[in-house]
């Protein structure tokens, strides 16, 4: 079955880079996503990448995909206190149903 795994916690200093990692098991995954959830709020789509891409960059965010190892990462450059949130990795084959990881709680320390 499908499975998406993430580490539960990550702490970084303000101004440093954050790297949040995710592994998935379904080799048929076509779309891979990163969502951000702030306290008490819904999920906000940050970015997504097609499985035929290795990298996608959008301002401070860089997504790296290693399809061979089924490993996805999200790098946040110059991490700010406003980046503190839970980050969810998700995968989908058809883009109509997503499977989510358990989320990584990112804490940005001053």
Q: Least distance in Å: CB of 100 to another protein? A: 4
Indicate the SS3 state at residue 43.
Answer: strand
Q: Which residue has the tokens 């996608």?
A: 56
39/110 with CB nearer another protein: 39
Told to check if 45 binds another protein by CB under 8 A, we report yes
Q: Which residue has the tokens 């998700």?
A: 90
What tokens does 12 get? 């970084």
What tokens does 65 get? 């995909």
Q: Least distance in Å: CB of 15 to another protein? A: 27
Paired residues of 109 in beta bridges: 13
Task: Choose the stretch contacting another protein; rule: CB under 8 A; options: 20-28, 55-63, 65-73, 86-94.
Answer: 86-94
State the binding string over 22-41 for another protein (x if CB under 8 A, else -): ---------x-x-x----xx
Q: Residues 6 or more apart from 43 whose CB is under 8 A from it?
A: 35, 36, 37, 88
Q: Least distance in Å: CB of 95 to another protein? A: 4
Q: Which residue has the tokens 């149903």?
A: 97
Residues at the interface with another protein (CB under 8 A): 31, 33, 35, 40-45, 48, 50, 86, 88, 90, 92, 94-98, 100-103, 105
């Amino acid at each position: 079955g499908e499975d998406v795994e993430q580490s539960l916690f990550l702490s970084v200093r303000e101004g440093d880079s954050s790297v949040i990692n995710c592994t998935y098991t379904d080799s048929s995954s076509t779309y891979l996503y990163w969502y951000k959830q702030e306290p008490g709020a819904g999920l906000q789509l940050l970015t997504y990448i097609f499985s035929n891409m290795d990298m996608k960059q959008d301002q401070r965010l860089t997504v790296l995909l290693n399809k061979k190892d089924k490993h996805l990462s999200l790098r946040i450059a110059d991490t700010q206190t406003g980046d503190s949130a839970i980050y969810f990795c998700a995968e989908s084959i058809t883009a109509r149903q997503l499977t989510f990881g358990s989320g990584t709680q990112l804490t940005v320390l001053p």
